[in-house]
Amino acid sequence: MKSNEELSLHMPTWRFIDESFSARGRSALESFAADDTLCHLVGQQMSSPAVRTWVHDHTVVLGIQDHRLPHIEEAVPLIHEAGYQTIVRNSGGLAVVLDSGVLNISLVLSEQQGSIDIPEGYEMMVAFVKQLFPEAADRIEAYEIVGSYCPGTYDLSMEGRKFAGISQRRLRQGVAVQVYLCVEGSGSERAKLIRTLYEAGLQGEATKFTYPVIQPDVMASLSELLETDLTVSDIIIRTQLLLRELSGDLQMGGFTPEELELYGFYLKRVVERNQKMLKA
């Protein structure tokens, strides 16, 4: 494990791509393709280390195991009736809720100058989130919150109530560490939606894979936990200010025309994989 100094988020240059508004009406598959593109670009040192912020409207992202629920064909229509679309990601993790009050942040780094092992990637995101919320840094803990959706060792919580989860994507020597932050609204209401998915998808049937038993009260938004009207826009501003502190140069803007060609390749791959998952 590297020292705290080696895990520093200070970089000569950070690149910031904000898609918290522009991506809302688009499929979350496009964000997975964008992160794959950034992994390639940053990993191959064709781009500076990058942070991308993104939001998608009313989407439940299913994991591979979710799509194997014995009664998934009865569960998914209930999610659609609640006003949410569904997609399946070809990676680890279980179902999560995306909506206008959930901000996703991707931290993309290169392993060209030295490997970043999985715990280090998680710890860097924990440090990043704590720096985003200095008023609550000493309250934020990282451990699995039993009863939450998509539970994991690096669930982020305050007083036992989860507001964020972290995942990783690795490709072409690039590492994308992704966090979803429940900023606005009700964390427990989002959890109830996923509880519906599992109750309808399992119907009490025993399975080899152990699915979480959702307890909505263990999840909350940052607005609820901090007892203030935080918005996604507030966190975008905090992110930009933090990156200015962490770098001598902050590059703003989206993909260049050349980078968009690479993005097109990864988008096609992500869409084709999702279609195969749905057919399976």
Q: Which residues are known catalytic residues?
A: 150
Angle subtended by helix axes 72-81 and 187-202, to nearest 10: 150
Q: Which whole-number Å values give the CA distances from 175 to 15, 37, 76, 114, 119, in the listed order?
A: 15, 11, 31, 12, 12
Max CA-CA distance within the chain? 56
Q: Which residues contact 69 (CB under 8 A, 6 or more apart)?
A: 75, 197, 198, 201, 202, 207, 211
Please name which of 93, 107, 97 lies closest in space to residue 42, comparing C-alpha atoms: 107
Q: Which residues contact 41 (CB under 8 A, 6 or more apart)?
A: 47, 50, 174, 259, 262
- The structure tokens listed for 38 are 């950034």
CA-CA distance, 152 to 175, in Å (whole number)? 19
Q: For 108, which DSSP code?
A: E
